[in-house]
Structure 1
Amino acid sequence: MATTDEQLLRGGPEAFGAFYARHERAVFRFFYRRVLDAETAADLSAECFAAALLGAEGYRGEGGAPPVAWLFGIARNVLRRSAEQRRVESRARARLGMPPLVLEDETLAALDRIHAGQLMEHALSYLPPDQAEAVRARIVDEREYDDIARELRTSEAVVRKRVSRGLGALRRRVEDRA
């Protein structure tokens, strides 16, 4: 069975499905971070993978670049062309006879929740572990201070302080980046 990205690219449409499954979240995140809209990011992702499928036979790995670098090169080109045209490009999907991508509201909401969770985890990674744990429990999980304090075997005042310090640090980080 093909296991490397290069083998999956060269293994035909069925193997390409495994390549797609392996990289779909990363490609979606790439687009979502740039367009901040789940539906547009999904359209761009579909076009990127359609273009990759069309070009898979021509993949050569020049300069030792791994297939994922090749894939993100396609993603950058899809994003650039779509920005130039002021609409999501659909040329590769049309060549493959793929119908327009239609996402239900539930799917869009799920994609937004996934991305929001990833953003939160990224933000929390900048905090000391005790503050990150307290902020996650209070803000993300919406737990009560006394419940968190019992779990952490500390006082409610300590938990409140950790949450306050953590949120303050995150606020300063956002303000510094603005």
Structure 2
Amino acid sequence: MPVMRVRAARIHSDQARPGSTANDVSVLVARAQAGDAEAFGEVYDCYVDQVFRFIYRRVLDRQVAEDLTSETFLRALRNLAAFRRPGGDFAGWITTIARNLTINHLQSHQRRECPVAEVHELVSTGDVAGPEAAAVDRLTREALVAGIAKLSPVQRQCITLRYLRELSIEETAQALGKTPAAIKAVQHKALRALRGLLPATVVMPA
């Protein structure tokens, strides 16, 4: 599919994409549905950064995010005839494709026990300015990693997906093959356990 090959190298351009109205996108999608490959390339340009950020925030792996972003647009192109929303919430449609691919990836990954090393890597991302703030932040992160490591495997998976990968209750439920109600129960028990394990200086989510 030429448009994907030509434009794939631009997936991580730091330049902002030009803004497009919903009407503009609807026109481009209609042209793409009629077989205009260049029109789909313009749609790709409008949404590729948004889709990549959505996926990367959840998988926290650049190569995986690249692969899933490419697969998202390939699936969108293959199923473009199925997009029949007048006025077109194309952003919502393609985000749903990205979400489903991301959850499928996380399902295959998270059903294995979440290793402590991965938790440490996720918790350790981010910079804090100033030596004193950095020292406090390091101690907080170390305490959090140690606390999460003491949770049961399913609690560790739940906390990792919910608060480190920032998935919703519903997305976490899909990734772990459980109901939203079950995830809420696991999350409640995990947070309660963490509060008992961590120093009072560590701020826990509600």
TM-score normalised by length of structure 1: 0.46
For the pair shown, the structure with the greater C-alpha radius of gyration is 1
TM-score normalised by length of structure 2: 0.40
Instruction: Indicate the structure with greater helix content.
Output: 1
